[in-house]
Amino acid sequence: EVLLVESGGGLVHPGGSLRLSCAASGFTFNNYDFNWVRQAPGKGLAWISYITTSGTTMDYADSVKGRFTISRDSAKQSVYLLMNSLRVEDTAVYYCARSLGANPYVFDIWGQGTMLTVFS
């Protein structure tokens, strides 16, 4: 079964840091790009980051650029999101999403999400 399982969410104070993890299984990890998409409580979806198969090209939404870092580890078949300088407005469910084959901007598999709450 093709699966993405996120973990690492929790409660953090403003200015704090946290690392999210996304464990992949059921498919050839190295063949796919990955993304992080978040959803604030009661709000819509917002893409925040992308990483290519090789891990050498990353991209970020302006809202997190300079604060968040995406990475991947092929040995662990995992994708990570290191979040620094967290703000209250970063509070959201964070989803890991696989890119669809040759189209990196379509997300065909999603994890169940992990919740981050930033509170003062």
Footprint of another protein (CB under 8 A): 35, 37, 44-47, 50, 59, 61-62, 95, 97, 100, 103, 105-108, 110-113
CB of 85 to another protein, least distance (A): 19
Q: How far is the CB of 118 from another protein (least distance, A)?
A: 21
Taking the least distance from each CB to another protein, the nearer of 12 and 59 is: 59
- Nearest approach in angstroms of CB 46 to another protein is 7
Beta carbons of 97 and 81 less than 8 angstroms apart = no
Residue (28 or 74) nearer to another protein, CB: 28
Question: Residue 75 Cβ, how far from another protein at the closest point, in Å?
Answer: 26
User: 23-46 burial string, b = 16+ CB within 10 Å, else e?
Assistant: bbeeeebeebbbbbbbeeeeeeee
